[in-house]
Amino acid sequence: MSVQAVSGASDVAAAILPRRGGFAGALSDLLWRKPGLLLFLMLAPPLLWLGVVYIGSLIALLAQSFFSIDEFSGLISRELTLKTYGDLFQPANLDIIVRTVTMAALVTLASAVVAFPIAYYAARYARGKWKALFYLGVMLPLWSSYLVKVYAWKLILAKEGILTWVFAKLHLSWLLDGWLSLPVVGGNSLSVSFTGTFIVFVYVWLPFMILPIQAALERVPGNLVEASSDLGASPGQTFRNVLFPLALPGIVAGSIFTFSLTLGDYIIPQIIGTSRLFIGQAVYAQQGTAGNIPLAAAFTVVPIVIMGFYLWGAKRMGAFNAL
Amino acid sequence: MRSDRSQSAPLGIKIAAAVGLAFLHLPILLIFVYAFTTEEKSYQWPPPGLTTQWFAATWARPDVWQALGLSVQVAAISTAIALVLGTLCAAAVSQTRFFGREAISLLVILPIALPGIITGIALRSAFSLAEIPFSFWTIVLGHATFCVVVVYNNAVARFRRTSGSLIEASMDLGADGFQTFRHVILPNIGTALLAGGMLAFALSFDEVIVTTFTAGQQQTLPIWMLEELVRPRQRPVTNVVAMVVVLATLLPILAAYYLTREGDQIAGAGK
């Protein structure tokens, strides 16, 4: 309904119809005659809540990144300064940022590779009952408890857990041990290595990648693929030149989630991973034990800026239409 | 029937899709096995024996019940707030055109578009600046903020499909605004709100990242689980709680799916 279109006619209606009695009737008439007032009344509560509680807190947080901490007293001085941002670019902190962004990029790539066949099958071949099954098959893990999922992987990746057992049964223990002895990706067991962190990230964010790719692929007409093969393209060529470009906005849309969620997570690397920090953990440690709210605030600016650029690029690629 | 519909998939795609789906589901199923294991001190596989004693042990734990109670209360009140705010916002955005409409949809989505840790630390620092002590209501404040978007998404999709002329017809037939809302609008958007509400409940019930910043010393069920994950003390009890949580979130998701599957947009497609 367009309120503006009707508002002109309401003057006429008011002249013909009798006024309604009672307070509720009068209120109802008033709102009908003044759609602006109705709109205001509808928007005021959500805007007050989100605008004041949420945006207010965000601005307060960002403002604090321009404060600094006194290194001797540990007190926070409320003078505007860029000193905290100077601290942010110390080598140790830069390491954390680079590590997190690399992990986010790898997780995004891997989820796209794992998600594509599932999305492709669901979009192009699954029909009727199978389609519903595929949909629920993605939705249930998406909505299952985040902590339970992380916990499940703690069970799987533990040294005495099922994965070690499977490798032993397949006589492939040497492969697992070989991988774990590698410098960066290895560790004492999978649950305390970057490999473990990586697997869990991919697992937890995978449904966020499947759904947009599936949505993008569903809009590709099947006869485009047929035309491509009729014209002599091999399945690989069809994929590279027809399917992939058309699915790309969906992949980019999914990558917004996988990238952003990996950037901000602090629980997965804390529970499954090495003692080297990620951005989320650094924020948590700075605001908690270290009590350095300005540096924690400055750290949160990093994902905000990265995601800002990311969203800008994604919008230019038309990814928002695939959301 | 179009020819591409009757084709069956190449074997490679079938296998990759099946492996992918198995990857998504097997870890969760594994939890069910661990809930019955007799092993207490480690995550040993295969389980040395099976027992149901941990269900009784969990049942007798007051801290688990307390955490569960707090989680349910927080989720119920946050969902109620989100239902009101989300529906109002959806009605305003979908029924009228006004300046800044796009900005409002962005504002609603922002709390889950930004990483949870940012929402969490922003709220926490705001509480400390305003000298608000942590309480039940500080948790609700955080949860309601990000639950609004789920209700909003569901309600907006339904409003888009509900014809505006229905409302005009109701008014023409002499109903006042409140009667129209009660007898025309509400029955139309009812199932969408129910679905949105259930998803909001599930989202709040499971939330941990924002909650760690707004809960202070209180324990919701996810915070209880997080403590156990960081410092495992009660492995068997944790296994049972994890299994119960999986089952408890399964039902609202299935219900929300069946309530909205006729629609153009299915609930929860964007968590």
CA distance B194 to chain A (A): 17
Chain mean pLDDT for chain B: 83
Q: Is the model's pLDDT at B269 over the cut of 50? A: no
Does a structural domain hold residue A38? yes
Judged by CB atoms closer than 8 Å, whether chains meet at B268 and A208 is answered as no
Inspect the interface and report whether the beta carbons of B121 and A297 lie closer than 8 Å.
yes
User: How many of the other CB atoms lie within 10 Å of CB of A105?
Assistant: 14
Same domain, A144 and A16: no
- Helix H segments across chain B? 3-6, 11-34, 53-59, 62-95, 101-113, 116-129, 136-161, 164-172, 177-180, 186-206, 209-214, 221-230, 235-260
Tell me if residue A77 falls in helix, strand or coil. strand
**Could you tell me if residue A53 is inside a domain?**
no
Q: Is residue A54 part of a domain?
A: no
Read off the pLDDT of residues B45-100 as tens digits, 9 standing for 90 and up: 788 888 888 888 888 888 889 999 999 999 999 999 999 999 998 888 877 777 77
Q: Is B86 in contact with A114 (Cβ distance < 8 A)?
A: no
**A279 within a domain of the structure (yes/no):** yes
Question: Is the CB of B225 inside 8 Å of chain A's CB atoms?
Answer: yes
A56-60, A198-202, A257-261: which is most confident: A198-202
Number of structural domains chain A divides into? 2
| All structural domains of chain B | 54-260 (1.10.3720.10)
Report the pLDDT value the prediction gives residue A222, as an integer from 0 to 100: 79
Partners of A115 on chain B (C-beta within 8 Å) are 20
Task: For A168-207, write each residue's pLDDT tens digit.
Answer: 889 888 888 888 888 888 888 888 899 999 999 999 999 9
Cβ distance of A287 and B31 shorter than 8 Å: no
Same domain, A208 and A301: yes
Q: pLDDT band for position A320 (50/70/90)?
A: low
pLDDT value for A17? 56
User: Are residues A33 and A148 both part of a single domain?
Assistant: no
Range of the domain at A34: 3-48
- Residue-level pLDDT at A323: 54
Q: Is there a contact between B168 and A222 if contact means CB atoms under 8 Å apart?
A: no
In a domain, A107, yes or no: yes
- The pLDDT value recorded for residue B79 is 95
Does residue A317 fall inside a structural domain? yes
Residue A67, domain member (yes or no): no
pLDDT tens digits, one per residue of A120-176: 998 888 887 888 888 888 888 888 888 999 999 988 998 888 888 898 889 888 888
Which CATH number goes with the domain that contains A261?
A: 1.10.3720.10
**Are A201 and A191 within 8 A, CB to CB?**
no
**Assigned domain for A61 exists:** no
CB-based contact (8 Å) between B21 and chain A? yes
| B202, two tokens | 């599930």
Shared domain for A8 and A117, answered yes or no, is: no
**Residue B106 in contact with partner chain A when CB distance is under 8 A:** no
Furthest CA-CA distance within chain A: 89
The SS3 of residue A76 is strand
Whole-number pLDDT of residue A4: 46
Identify whether residues A151 and A106 lie together within a single domain.
yes
Q: Which of residues 51-70 of B touch A (CB under 8 A)?
A: none
Q: Is the pLDDT of residue A234 over 80?
A: yes
What is the average per-residue pLDDT within A62-87? 80
Residue B108 · residue B230 · CB < 8 Å: no
In chain A, residues 157-176 whose CB comes closer than 8 Å to chain B: 158, 160-162, 164-165
Which of A85-89, A224-228, A298-302, B98-102 has the lowest average pLDDT? B98-102
Residues A41 and A88 in one domain: no
Residue type, B248: A
